[in-house]
Amino acid sequence: MKVPFIDLQAQYATIKDGIQLAINEVLASQDFILGKQVAELEINIAHYCGIKRAIGVASGTDALLLSMMALDIKQGDEVITTPYTFFATVGSIVRLGAVPVFVDIDPKTFNIDNIRIEEKITPRTRAIIPVHLFGQMADMGTIMELAKKYNIAIIEDAAQAIGATYNGLAAGSMGDLGILSFYPSKNLGAYGDAGMVLTNNEELAEKVSILRVHGSKTKYYHTVVGINSRLDTLQAAILLVKLKHLDVWKQRRQEIALLYDQDLLDTPVICPNVSEQNDHVYTHYVIRTKERDALKSYLTEAGIGTAIYYPLPMHRQACFGYLNYRDTRMPEAERASKETLAIPLYPAMTEEQRKYVVENIKKFFYLHPELQ
């Protein structure tokens, strides 16, 4: 049997008619840039996330960049974040000339360790970017308290977490700004690049809307220097169709995760730990074991796709070498990068496929009793 890590074709088969209708409508209108579907998606996503304003942009990466531009984060400012994230979180800080300041992660959730944030705050700290990794929100309670106490902006990186909640509040709705990614492999994925900025602050929303079109509110008149980062009408039309299914898909992801939790209980792997305030959406189901690399090879041999998020933490990336963080110890992020493995989990996955994954994880440890 084959179990791909993600099966977008299986998902497409279930929504094909709706998608084709939506694409045909855009083709008929020939209105490809910021068409009516973009405005409609912005309203629907804002409603889904319980937030006043949502601004469609070209990618999650641009959403981060534009959020920081709207906050006027610039050369020499410090932005606190996690070293255990996708590159874009940190890359966008550095692209503005600001300095990323890393706080190690909580080994249970893989999210930024809220207890260690305060010691990294300085007079230059302008923002904190908590990342809601794998679909579970960071401990926003403490983070929001720190933001208030030190007057620091919060940008939630909810690229992997649309639909997740913390004490009932949606991912991306708690900070000054939140960002979403609709990269195809996300739990709400477009058919290309797409992203969104979320905010309750009208002034910031206005700034982001202007910055995404070269800094102009009136065409050809530029009040600030922005970028070209518009959400494509075709992608918005596709996302409008897929958004209708998101809650059912979320429920299915949670069911599969629960079954994995139960079935893997008697194996040496550690399953995702969900803190009680959180509703986890399982964009990725990530297990941890010291035998990660051997297990990955074994599963590959058995026809099971897996992924490593992420093999090298950000403070050790060559491109950030000039920041001299490579000798800095972030022990939990480093350990996680050697021990975590994302296994297949997607709504279209069959029970037979899920059982096959479990069976093979069990077989691996049975064949290697010395690793138990």
Ligand X SMILES: Cc1ncc(COP(=O)(O)O)c(C=O)c1O
131 - beta bridge partners?
Answer: 157
As beta bridge partners, residue 228 has 213
Q: Does 85 bind ligand X (CB under 6 A)?
A: yes
| 35 touches ligand X (CB under 6 A) | no
Out of 22, 34, 88, 269, point to the residue binding ligand X (CB under 6 A): 88
Cα gap 39→32, rounded to integer Å: 13
Give the closest residue to 160 by CA, choosing from 192, 144, 177, 182.
Answer: 182
Contact yes or no for 282/257 (Cβ under 8 A): yes
In the three-class reduction of DSSP (H, G, I as helix; E, B as strand; rest coil), residue 209 is classed as helix
Which position among 35, 56, 60, 175 is part of the footprint of ligand X (CB under 6 A)? 60
Q: Which stretch binds ligand X (CB under 6 A): 33-41, 83-91, 166-174, 236-244?
A: 83-91
The DSSP line for 88-109 is HHHHHHHHTT-EEEE-PBPTTT
Q: Name the token pair of 296.
A: 């990955």
Residues within window 143-202 making contact with ligand X, judged by CB under 6 A? 157, 159-160, 181, 183, 193, 195
Whichever of 98 and 295 has its CB closer to ligand X, that residue is: 98
Residue type, 286: V
Residue 310 sits in the site that holds ligand X (CB under 6 A): no
Q: Does 59 bind ligand X (CB under 6 A)?
A: yes
89 counts as binding ligand X under rule CB under 6 A: yes
Using the rule CB under 6 A, is 229 a contact of ligand X?
Answer: no
CB of 92 to ligand X, least distance (A): 8
Q: Sort 242 into a burial class: Cβ within 10 Å, 0-12 / 13-18 / 19+.
A: buried
Q: Which stretch binds ligand X (CB under 6 A): 81-89, 122-130, 197-205, 324-332?
A: 81-89
Nearest CA to 232 out of 44, 56, 60 is that of 56
42 or 193: whose CB is closer to ligand X?
A: 193
Examine residue 110 and tell whether it contacts ligand X (CB under 6 A): no
Q: Which is nearer to ligand X, 160 or 209 (CB)?
A: 160
Q: Which residues bind ligand X (CB under 6 A)?
A: 59-61, 85-86, 88-89, 131, 157, 159-160, 181, 183, 193, 195
